[in-house]
Homo-oligomer: A and B are copies of this chain.
Amino acid sequence: MDAFYSDNITNALKNDPPGEWMPYIPEDCIRLSSGFPAPSLVPVKQLKESIGQLLDVEQDLPLHYLGTPKMDELKQQIIERLDQREMKFTMDEVLVTAGACQAIDLIARIFVDEETVVAVESPTYMEALEIYKNYTDRFIEIPMDEDGLQTERFAKLLADRKSKGLPLPQLLYTIPTFQNPTGTTLTEERRRHLLELADTYDFLIIEDDAYGELFFHDQPKTLKAWDKANRVLYVGSFSKVIAPGLRIGWVSATKEIIEKLFWFKKDLDHPFAQAVMSNYLRQYPLNKRLSLIQESYKEKCSLMKDALADYMPDSVSWYVPRGGYFVWVKLPGEDTSELLEQATKKGVSFLPGKHFFLDERDGREWLRLSFSYEDSTAIVEGVKKLSEVVCNR
C-alpha cells in the first residue's frame, strides 16, 4: 500500500496525526479548556428564524451549487465590515472559506513548500502549526511577551540569519490581536515595526484576526489597515462572534492571491451555510450583536482575573487580556501536563501550554484558560478548583 502514496505527503506524515495533541478531558469537567463561544451567546433562535425566512423567500436557491444571490451578499457584508475598520477590499479580493482554518491551509498550500521557512509566534495557535507542518518543517519562532510578538528580537534574529547566510522566512503567521493562546495584543509601535521588517526582509504576513472584534475597551487597528505594500493576507472568521459550526471564514488579499487560493479550494463553495450567514447578518446587524458579546466576555474575563487573584498562590502570574477568549497563566516550576491530570479529577480542565509550542518543553510552566465557554459561576468555581489543585502540589 505504501507505494501508492504521493511523495508530496511523506514529510507531513512524519508528524503526529491531526488532533492527536488534544488531551483527554472527562465530560463532567468545568471546561476552561474550550475555545468555543458561550452556548448562551450562540444565536440559536435568531438563526432558526433566519433560516426559516431564507427558505421561505429563496426556496431551493441556497440548496443548489450556485444560484443564491446571498453568496455575493455575504462577501459584500464582509467588505463593508472591513471598510468600517479601515480596510478596503473589492469583491475579487475576498475568498469566503470554511472557517479560518481552511483559509490558513489554502494560504499554506500556495506559499509553503518544503524549502519555505515560516515564522511563527511562540506560543501560537496549535491548529495553525499543524497545518504548516503538513508543508514544511522549517520554522522560526519569535518569542512573545505581554505586548505580543517581540519585534526587536525578531529583527535581531532576521539580521543574524541574514549575516550568516541562513534562509530567511517568506511568511510570518501572527495573531496580533487577543492572541491564541496568550490573549496578548501587539502594540501599535510593534505593528509598524513588523511591517517595516516585512519590507526590509521581503516576507508576507498572515494576519489571523479571528478574535479582533472581541475587544473590551478599544479595537486595535489591524496590521492590514497599516499595510501599504500589500504584504498582509488578512484572515477573518465568524466562528468566534456568531457560530463556529457554520464554518464561515475568509481571506482578504490581492486579486492575484485570491485567484490562486480559489484554484485549490476544491470543496467548492458552501451555498447554504453562506446564505444562512448572510441572511442572519442582514436581519441582525453585527455591530449590535458585538456590543452584547463584548460586554459578556469582558465581564467573564474580569471574573476570571479576580478569581485568579483571589485563589492562586502568589507565585502564579498571568497576562491580562484586553479582548478575546483567553488568559495565559504562568506557574513557575510546574508541569502543567501533570497538573491537568489532577485538575480534571477535581472537575476542571484547561489546556497545557506545551500544545502551543513547536518544542513542547517551552510550554511546561504555562497553561491556557478560556473564559469564553463557561458561565460566570462555573468560571469562578473552576478557577477555585484549579487553585486548590495548584496549592496542594
Chain A residues within CB distance 8 Å of chain B: 1, 4-9, 12-13, 17-18, 36-37, 39, 42, 44-45, 47-48, 51-52, 55-56, 59-60, 62-65, 68, 97-99, 101-102, 104-105, 109-113, 115-116, 131, 134-135, 170-171, 204, 239, 243-247, 256, 259-260, 262-264, 266-268, 270-273, 275
Lowest 10 CB-CB distances: which A-B pairs, in order?
A98-B267, A105-B266, A63-B243, A245-B271, A42-B60, A63-B245, A102-B267, A6-B113, A245-B272, A39-B60
In the assembled complex, the Cα of A101 lies from the Cα of B270 at a distance in Å of 12
Q: A6-B116, A42-B63, A247-B272 are in contact. Are A256 and B1 (CB under 8 A)?
A: yes
Q: How far is the CA of A229 from the CA of B112 in the complex (A)?
A: 37
26 A-B pairs with C-beta separation under 8 A: A4-B171, A5-B110, A5-B111, A6-B113, A7-B115, A8-B109, A9-B264, A18-B263, A44-B59, A45-B55, A51-B51, A62-B245, A63-B243, A65-B245, A97-B267, A98-B270, A99-B268, A102-B266, A104-B266, A105-B266, A105-B267, A134-B266, A243-B272, A246-B272, A247-B270, A273-B273
Contacts of A109 in B (CB 8 A): 6, 8-9
Count of identical protomers in the assembly: 2
The residues of B that contact A246 with a CB separation of less than 8 Å are 63, 272
Q: A44-B63, A273-B273 are in contact. Are A266 and B101 (CB under 8 A)?
A: yes
**Chain B residues with Cβ under 8 A from A275's Cβ?**
245
Shortest CB-to-CB span from A137 to chain B, Å, is 15
Looking at chain A's contact residues, the main secondary structure is helix
> Which of B17, B55, B64, B273 lies in contact with A47, CB distance below 8 A?
B55
